[in-house]
Amino acid sequence: MEEILQNIIQAFQATSWLERFSVLCGIVQVLLSKNNKVSNYFFGILGITSGMMVLFHAKLYAEIALQIYYLIMSIYGWWYWVSNRQAKEQPITKASKSEWMVVLGIVFIGFFIFYFLLKGITDSDVPIWDAWVTSTAWAGMWLLAKRKIENWILLNISNLFAIPLLIHKNLYLFAALTTFLFIVAIFGYLKWRKIMGQELIKSQNA
């Protein structure tokens, strides 16, 4: 444990301003998301676009594809929350059975697509690991854009596998960020559940 902490400190000292900026934006984004603030997407987009080159040098190609997906879903989520009246009034809800089918499709179809692409056309040494982290995060982001409370569960499944993957790739600063995101996501789930309860009471009293 002491060696890992020492490596994190050394990695932070050795990281570029771009990597530090990406990590900082990621922290701000998840804190805003936990509190159901639409501005989380702005900082998410900044963090996504600034972190891609770091992942490219680490040969985490599916993670780059994940970042591209994050970018698309962040733009979509920002539009979904802001651009129309129905979206603004969209409450936090649980995923329906049909939405869970979409989630399972994203996870498993996405996993096999990424695995075979990584295995066949890249020099990735962790195709299974990388593909799983990416596909589960894809599903979580789709649920986040739909304001479904289960997004935190899918995102934390991804985070749980991403932490050792990033340590394996010596991306200790990103691993520390992901550990932080894992913890915040737990509180995010609890916060959203509380908001759901408040919205239910408000609708019953309307």
Q: What is residue 61's predicted lDDT score, i.e. its pLDDT?
A: 78
Tokens 């499944």, located at residue: 157
Which of the four pLDDT bands, split at 50, 70 and 90, describes residue 87?
low
Q: pLDDT band for 8, please (50, 70, 90 cuts).
A: low
Predicted pLDDT of residue 206: 60
Question: Which of the given ranges, 14-23, 137-146, 149-158, 178-187, has the highest pLDDT on average?
Answer: 149-158
Q: What residues have CB less than 8 Å from 155, skipping those under 6 apart?
A: 136, 137, 140, 141, 144, 181, 185
Average pLDDT for residues 64-90, to the nearest whole number? 72
Given this model, what pLDDT does residue 149 score?
Answer: 93
The angle subtended at Cα 149 by Cα 50 and Cα 51, nearest 5°, is: 10
**pLDDT > 80? residue 182:** yes
**Is residue 25 predicted with pLDDT exceeding 80?**
yes
Q: Distance (Å, rounded) from C-alpha 86 to C-alpha 16?
A: 42
CA distance 10 to 65: 28
pLDDT digits (tens, 9 = 90+) for 104-113: 999 999 999 9
pLDDT for 108 equals 95
Looking at residue 18, its amino acid is: L
Phi-psi region of 133 (alpha: psi -120 to 50; beta: other; left: phi over 0): alpha
DSSP 8-state code for residue 122: S
In the predicted model, what is the mean pLDDT of residues 5-30? 72
Alpha-carbon distance of 195 to 92, in angstroms, equals 7
Distance CA 116, CA 84 (A): 39
**pLDDT tens-digit readout, 140-155:** 988 987 889 999 999 9
List the structure tokens of 152: 């935190």
Confidence of residue 162 (pLDDT cuts 50, 70, 90): very high
Judge whether 149 and 192 are in contact, CB under 8 Å.
yes
